[in-house]
Homo-oligomer: A and B are copies of this chain.
Amino acid sequence: MDVIKQFEISKYSGGTEERASDSVVVEYSLTIYLNEKELVTLMCTPKSLDSLVAGVLYSEGVIETAGQIEDISVCEEDGTAHVTLIKERALFAESMDAKAAITKGSGGGKTIFDSSIEKPERIEKRNVIDPDKILALCRQFEKRSEIFIKTGGAHSCALCSQDEIILFEEDIGRHNALEKIFGKALLDDINPEDKMIFTSGRLSSEIIKKAAKRKVPVIVSRSAPTDAAVDIAKELNMTLIGFARGGRMNIYTRQV
């Protein structure tokens, strides 16, 4: 299965835009079934999936030895992995409530969106972007990232108008930084629907969906998007910009 997908994008630099082909990492959804019961869904790279399944079970204490696995059967097309444990261990896994114990972080985030009640809709409101203003905001955004500048260990997120940063937050987690922005906007009654989200973090499908639920039409990252993020942005009519740094950026999708 492909781990990289090609997209036709626009590269902006020094006042001009050029069409280009760009390699984007594939985000794949794998649902693990343990003895026929659904255990967890991981967002991952579709490679070494048997190792991933064994590692997750091992890491969470569901198994202690390779011998406790009777079989791991990965179906790449379906995005499923069926695991059969030997009988003694299956009883133990049942008793520990493996489902409750397993919740993965970072990229391997358990998909939470489907369990959420609020689905994102196509964004109708159009927000025309000015690439040079975005790059100017990027420079301000980087200067504001004090914890990152001092420690190298934090993500930044901002809500911006065309001309300025309205809200700015930092956190060790890129999801947390985004939640802080939307939480603050909610508490302070700031409408995000005509604004832009800037983030230092990678753009996964979950991040895009969170922005889409708040009807933010434009999302800008200094890092890479996944293929799923680009596909969702296109479907929901959002402008998605990646690698916005050093006076350049890649425009993956643009509102129509």
Q: How far apart are A188's CB and chain B's nearest CB, in angstroms?
A: 8
Docked Cα-Cα span, A147 to B51, in Å, equals 18
**A174 adjacent to B107 (CB under 8 Å):** yes
Docked Cα-Cα span, A170 to B127, in Å, equals 36
Instruction: Decide yes or no whether A234 CB sits under 8 A from chain B.
Output: no
**B52 adjacent to A171 (CB under 8 Å):** yes
Instruction: Decide yes or no whether A173 CB sits under 8 A from chain B.
Output: yes
**B107 adjacent to A175 (CB under 8 Å):** yes
Docked Cα-Cα span, A43 to B58, in Å, equals 22
Chain B contacts of A180 at CB under 8 A?
Answer: 48, 51-52, 55
By CB atoms of chain B within 10 A, which of A27, A101, A147, A172 has the most?
A: A172
User: Given B55, B179, B184, which contacts A178 in the complex, CB threshold below 8 Å?
Assistant: B55
**B107 adjacent to A173 (CB under 8 Å):** yes
User: Given B25, B66, B104, B152, which contacts A223 in the complex, CB threshold below 8 Å?
Assistant: B152
Q: Which residue of B lies closest to A49 (CB)?
A: B180
Q: How far apart are A34's CB and chain B's nearest CB, in angstroms?
A: 15
Q: Which residue of B lies closest to A189 (CB)?
A: B66
Q: For the complex formed by this chain, how many copies does it contain in all?
A: 2
Docked Cα-Cα span, A101 to B94, in Å, equals 21
Docked Cα-Cα span, A53 to B176, in Å, equals 9
Say yes or no: A154-B25 contact (C-beta < 8 A), given A60-B112, A182-B58: yes
Q: Beta-carbon contacts of A155-186 to B below 8 Å, as 1s and 0s? A: 10000000000000111111110111111101
**B115 adjacent to A173 (CB under 8 Å):** no
By CB atoms of chain B within 10 A, which of A59, A174, A206, A223 has the most?
A: A59
Q: How far apart are A78's CB and chain B's nearest CB, in angstroms?
A: 19
Docked Cα-Cα span, A194 to B116, in Å, equals 44
**B204 adjacent to A172 (CB under 8 Å):** yes
Docked Cα-Cα span, A209 to B115, in Å, equals 29
Chain B contacts of A110 at CB under 8 A?
Answer: 103, 105
Q: How far apart are A129's CB and chain B's nearest CB, in angstroms?
A: 21
Q: How far apart are A142's CB and chain B's nearest CB, in angstroms?
A: 16
Q: Beta-carbon contacts of A85-108 to B below 8 Å, as 1s and 0s? A: 000000000001000111111111
Which A residues have a C-beta under 8 Å from some C-beta of B?
A: 3-4, 23-25, 27, 42-45, 47-48, 50-61, 63-66, 96, 100-110, 112, 115-118, 147, 150-155, 169-176, 178-184, 186-187, 189, 201-202, 204, 206, 210, 213, 223-226, 243
